[in-house]
Structure 1
Amino acid sequence: MPISKLSIVIPAYNEGKTIHEILDKVKAVQLINNITKEVILVNDYSTDDTEEAILRYKDANPELNIQYYKHEKNKGKGAALHTGIEKATGDFTVIQDADLEYDPEEFNILLKPIVNGFADVVYGSRFMGGNPHRILFFWHSIGNKFLTFLSNMFTNLNLTDMETCYKMFNTKTLQSLNLKEQRFGFEPEVTAKIARIPKIRIYEVGISYYGRTFEEGKHIGWKDGFRAIYSILKYNLFQ
């Protein structure tokens, strides 16, 4: 389908020190086919100077179409994504974390199957392709692959990375889903619900991954893994 604008939804929580770096990367990207960018930043009640950093950047870079929203209390990543998705006006929407683990330069890799008329949804996999991947935690990667395997069992998809941040959706389709997960259950919930849409065309492409350690600010822990298992079962068996 023709695509003229991409909405980039960025949830942010205590990313004041580095938010300008990811915005610089988003700003620098030249999207294929002269597709324009809309950046939707959702501050999930950060306790540092995230808001000030975003507003400074927005004022200094008016050419980057930044839409800024904030929560009046901390609700979780999923809730921030819900807010961003609701406000999106682009033909397609992509999720971008505020940290530096994913490279916005690779938006074009996700866009290619869409602009070529093959895909309605594209997942960016950290476990396929020849792009750089930082070597980090063995059990974390095993956990990701287990969650993907469990999700695939119910959705009958053959994804390699259900938990990836990089997911690109037709915006109207995404907005039609009744998404409920407030925190890290977003990934299995959206996957379960998108997989049930008749004749939906889901593609997967290899992307880079520049993972962070917990000391560098990674937020996901074992509790989030259990919530993901719960969400896989809930949204595939009982919804």
Structure 2
Amino acid sequence: MAGNMRELTSLTVIMPCYNEENTLEEVVSQVLQANILGLQLELIIVNDGSVDGSRQIMDQLAAQHPAIRALHHDVNQGKGAALSTGFKAATGDLVLIQDADLEYSPNEYPSLLQPFFEQRADVVYGSRFRGGHGYGRVLYFWHSMGNRFLTFCSNVMTDINLTDMETCYKVFRRPLLEKIQLREKRFGVEPEMTAKLAHLQPRPRIFEVSISYSGRTYEEGKKIGWKDGFRAIYCILRYNLIRD
């Protein structure tokens, strides 16, 4: 859909960050060491109004590593807003979303990128629920059921068969991102992106790969809550029924 794979030479990793001073340096180190299958790396960290030491840490990292760019929101706006800022600044042929915590491992990058190198995919989702080689920390039953329910609702409206719509790990050919305008500021961006991608014409080739996942507890810093679940339902309806 977006050209021959031999034209792909670079990868942009977008990392939204809000108050992640305890994990930021480690996850950045993992990204810099990740196997990205020979692509040139650009890492854009978007500070979404952090009030801890995250801003200072990312500025130091950007000064030390030419592959890193640090962008800043003066006030907290939400993950969706941070992604929009990162997407607009991205220059890579492929764009990958990476959270700034340690729930998702950059060791999964080869699996996420391989469908592009096989000239099969325009979009790849990393699924925590697909099965296969991945492993996962055992945590909240109702949280996982909520994720599956939202994925089911999204699939009904988009007519695609994802197993994990809410996953952080999404990789896109960058021209696709230029065709959609994101409106959601918080976690509603996940169903919004999925809806808008699914309704593009011609429909992009969307693939899933199994990934490992090491979730956090709320005491450890997990931020998404039940209110975000209700917003996700609204977004599933809003962006599938009204396409703008």
- The percent identity for this pair of structures is 53
2:28 alignment partner in structure 1: 23
Q: Secondary structure at the match of 1:176?
A: coil
- Find the aligned partners of 2:108 and 2:145 in 1 and give their Cα distance: 25
Mean Cα deviation higher: 65-74 or 4-13: 65-74
Q: 1:179 aligns with which of 178, 182, 189?
A: 182
Are 1:140 and 2:140 counterparts? no
- Find the aligned partners of 1:18 and 1:100 in 2 and give their Cα distance: 7
**What TM-score does the superposition give when structure 2 sets the normalisation length?**
0.95
Deviations 1:30-54 (A, max 9, x none): 211x111100110001011111111
Q: Secondary structure at the match of 2:178?
A: helix
User: What's the CA shift for 1:180?
Assistant: 0.5
Q: 1:156 aligns with which of 133, 155, 159?
A: 159
**Structure 2: which amino acid aligns with 1:114?**
F
**Structure 2: which amino acid aligns with 1:152?**
N
Structure 1 unmatched runs, 5+: none
Are 1:191 and 2:179 counterparts? no
- Find the aligned partners of 2:97 and 2:35 in 1 and give their Cα distance: 17
Q: 1:58 aligns with which of 54, 58, 62?
A: 62
- Find the aligned partners of 1:156 and 1:123 in 2 and give their Cα distance: 16
Q: 2:240 aligns with which of 230, 236, 239?
A: 236
- Find the aligned partners of 1:85 and 1:56 in 2 and give their Cα distance: 22
Q: 1:47 aligns with which of 51, 62, 71?
A: 51
Q: Secondary structure at the match of 2:85?
A: helix
**Structure 2: which amino acid aligns with 1:130?**
H
User: What's the CA shift for 1:175?
Assistant: 2.2
Alpha-carbon RMSD: 0.9
Q: 1:116 aligns with which of 118, 126, 141?
A: 118
Deviations 1:177-198 (A, max 9, x none): 0110000101000000000122
- Find the aligned partners of 1:71 and 1:144 in 2 and give their Cα distance: 28
Deviations 1:62-86 (A, max 9, x none): 4xx0111101221111000000000
1:84 alignment partner in structure 2: 86
1:102 alignment partner in structure 2: 104
Question: Which portions of structure 1, spanning 4 or more consecutive aligned residues, are displaced by more than 6 angstroms?
Answer: none
Structure 2 unmatched runs, 5+: none
Q: How many residues align?
A: 236
